[in-house]
Structures are given as structure tokens and as C-alpha cells.
Amino acid sequence: MIFRFFRPDPSRVLIDTLLTRVAVAARAPWLYRDMGVPDTVEGRFESYALHMVLTLRHMRTLPAPADDAAQELVDAYFKSLDHMLREMGVGDLGVPKRMKKLAEAFYGRARTYDPLLDAKDAPGLALALGRNVVGASEPAHPLAAYALEAQARLAAQDLDALFAAGPDFPAAPQTF
């Protein structure tokens, strides 16, 4: 009877697995080597945020219970950022302040990328990604092409496929 409390919640396992797959995609070495994403804490945050935005945008287009799953994914994402800050040595008093900044940055990126991705505006997206992700005034055309390709590939996945295989992000830079 008591052992049921120690069994993992199946929905929690699905969300954690999905979050891990998004994080793994965001940390693909070629993004840093070939796409100009800086291999820094900030660069990794930007890549993770981009991949989360792409995944959450897709989940918004899916029927229920995708909206609930998307909220659980957002909660897990911010919990992972909180955990990362604590591992980096940020004290208990500093974590809320840093989390507020990270949340503002994440939602700011989402508000910036959403209309550009909706319009499939590659030049505008390249400028935004160059500024935010790469940290340059030059457009990040390959990264914009990657994001648009990822959006197209995600559109072919239903919620079951998203949970079963993870988000279908492009795997290699040769196509960009």
C-alpha cells in the first residue's frame, strides 16, 4: 500500500522526458560550433529558450490535453533553471531575483520570435536570433533557417509522437 507513493507519476515522467529531449537538442555541439551560438551560460540559455519556444508554440496548436502538458512543461523548464542557478552557487536570496530576470528574458524572446515564426519571416528572425542568441548585430541566417525547419518538422507531430520520440528538431547543420 505505501509503495504506491514511491511510484513515479506517469505524466511527470513524460514531461521530464520531453524536457530532457528539448535540453539535449539545445545542447547539440554543432549549434555552438557551426551556428555561432556562444558556448557560454548565456548562449546555452538562449539555445534552450529557443528550443522551448519552438516546442511550446507547436503544443499550442495541438488539441487537449496539449495545453495542460505545455503548462507542465513550462513549470518543469523553470524548475530546471532554478536548479541550475542553485548548482552554480546562487544563494537562496539571489535565486528569486535571477529567476525573475530569466522569466522576463524567456517571455521576451517568445514575444519576439512568435510573430516572426508565424510569418515565416526568415530575415526578421535572423536579425532577432543574431541579436539575442548569437549576440551580434549581424543576422544569424543559418540559425533562422534551422528554427523555421524545426517549426515545419514539429508541425508534423501530434502530441503522442512528441512524447514518444521527442520534438523533431533538425539533427545536422548540412541542410542550412
The pLDDT value recorded for residue 8 is 59
Per-residue confidence at 136, pLDDT binned at 50, 70, 90?
confident
Q: What's the confidence (pLDDT) of residue 174?
A: 59
Query: What SS3 class is residue 90?
Result: coil
Task: List the single range of 7-21, 50-64, 90-104 with lowest mean pLDDT.
Answer: 7-21
Amino acid 92: pLDDT? 79
The pLDDT of 92-99, averaged and rounded, is: 86
pLDDT greater than 70 at residue 107? yes
- Supply the mean pLDDT for the chain: 91
Long-range residue pairs from 36-42, CB within 8 A, at least 24 positions apart, any chain: 36/133, 36/134, 36/136, 36/140, 36/142, 36/143, 37/133, 37/134, 37/143, 38/134, 38/135, 41/88, 42/135
Rounded CA gap, 153 and 142, in Å? 16
Report how far residue 134's alpha carbon sits from residue 98's, in angstroms, rounded to the nearest whole number: 21
Which phi-psi region, left, alpha or beta, contains residue 86 (left: φ > 0; alpha: ψ -120 to 50)?
A: alpha
